[in-house]
Structures are given as C-alpha cells and as structure tokens.
Structure 1
C-alpha cells in the first residue's frame, strides 16, 4: 500500500493529536504526585545496615544530585528549613557472581541493593511517598589479572547503582507511584 505525502501528514497529525488528547506526559517532569506547596527538601544521612563502609554517603549524594537536577525541589541543609524530609536506610547490599571465566573464577558480578526510602512532610509527619523494599541491581566486570581494576569497576558500579536508585525513586515520587 502506497500512501501519499498528504495522507502521511494527516496520519502524523492524528497520532500527535491523540497523544495530546489522552493526557500523555513524561514521568518525572510534572510533579503531579506531590503537593506543589512542597518546595524545600532535606535529605537526611542514610542509614547503613550493610558491611560496605560509607555506602550511605554514596546513596545520599546520589539522591541530592538527582533532586537538584530535577529542579522541582530546592535542597536545604537542615530539616527545620524543609517542607519535606527524605529518609533512607540501606537494608541490604549483596555482591553475587553473575558469569564465570575459565578456572571457575567470576568474570562478572552483580550488586543488589534494597533500600527503605520515605519522603515525609516535616510539620505533620505525613508520608508523601514510601517504599520499604526499593531494590535495584548493577553489574560490573571482574578482572582476573588486576585486583585494582576489579575494585575500580566495583566502586564505579556502586556509584552508578546509587544514581540509578535515586533516578528511579525520584521519578516514582513525582509520579505518585
């Protein structure tokens, strides 16, 4: 079937109109899930129930960076300056082998994290959004010849996992899921 340029034009117009009419929008840009009066957010120091030192700082920094990038909220240093407080506790962080190389040595590993996250109004304590078992994974390569390369890959993967966790949680907070 051959369509003329005019038919193609009207099909495109129809498709775009239907997207507009159905209320389609990009998640994480409108902030419809949170009261517009909530403008200032304080991110508390995350708890760390794992054996991984300083991981709470990595995750807290990722959440602060994501909130700043989003532009919907202003980050404040103290809870008493905030309209809402974001709290997090890293409940579980596990490394597991994902793929093996010759000699039964790990060639790739996976981080799996579970975080308890909540956003609460500071004055009332009302929970605006919470997920007590927010989980994500991140993979990285293991070097059979260099422990320092493996450690660098492991740390980079952990930073990316923290960033991905913050990104996903931020989108869910704004969308009300």
Structure 2
C-alpha cells in the first residue's frame, strides 16, 4: 500500500473516532458535559480538551510542526491533569473550537509529510524517542478511539444514549424492554459466580 492509500485508511478511522467522541456531547446540558463521571474525575468535555492536546502535540509539535496556539502545557502554573477538565471560564465552544483547530492541524501534518518522516517525542524512552509519522498517527488513532469508548460509556451512564454515531447506534437491542431483558440475562449469568 502506498503512502496516500495508507494515510486515507488511517485518517478515515481517526475521523470516525473523532466524530464518535464529539457526538457524545450533543444535547447534553453544560453541567453534564463537564461534571466528573468517575471517581477519578473523568468528564466528557475534558476528554475533548485532552485529545486536542494529544493531536496538537503528537501530530504537530513532535513532527516539527508546532501548533500555533498556546496549550495547557505552555502555562507554567498548569497542573498535571489540567488538560483533562474544563475550567468555568472556558466555554464548550472554546474547547470544541480548539479541538477542531488541533485536528485540522494534525490532518495538515499528515498531508504534508510522508509516513516515514521521523519526529521526536521527548518524554518517551530513548529507544522509542524518534518515531515515524506512521507510528504517531497510529498512536493518536488508538488514543482517540480509547477515549471515544470512555465517552460512550460515560454518556450511556448520564442519559442512556449509546452507540457509535447518531445515525448508527450499532446496538442489537431496541427499546428499553429489550435492553432490560438482555441486561437481566447477563446479570443472571454473572450471578452464578457470586
């Protein structure tokens, strides 16, 4: 497979994961988009902010194409997890806009460089510190898909919305009754091991 064909496939999967992540915010009130939904503080809008940093970093800065805006890591007073939550003075539009600009910058990097272009990830171990664009693109794809999965589970816990996309729930159970019956079936099987 040539570079262009490989890029097309990788970017298609990355775009799908990005869209799945963003869909999980649609229709949510501000509080539910921002509030911690796990004991560790994971929240939906924070996942988007984090992934803006991931894409700008790995598919921008690490490939010698610095993201043109200040990021969380540029603030000397920033805490270790400040990319994982959204301050009260940051709007949803601010975060979604940042993500749109970061993904456009990442896509421009992929378009501009060959997959075998070598970058530098200063915080990775010495033997891994100089990965190719291909490696970083796969790394970012895995990261976005992982967090889109987190967002899927979190959103289902908030209001029951589930599935890959608005137009493709990819769920085999339709309706509350069918889902409740399925959940009960799974619970009965698990209860055999109490």
Q: Check whether TM > 0.5.
A: no
**Interval of TM-score (by shorter of Structure 1 and Structure 2):** under 0.3
> Which structure: larger Rg?
1
Higher relative strand content: 1
Higher relative helix content: 2
TM superposition score normalised by structure 2: 0.23
| Higher RCO (CA 8 Å, separation ≥ 6 residues) | 2
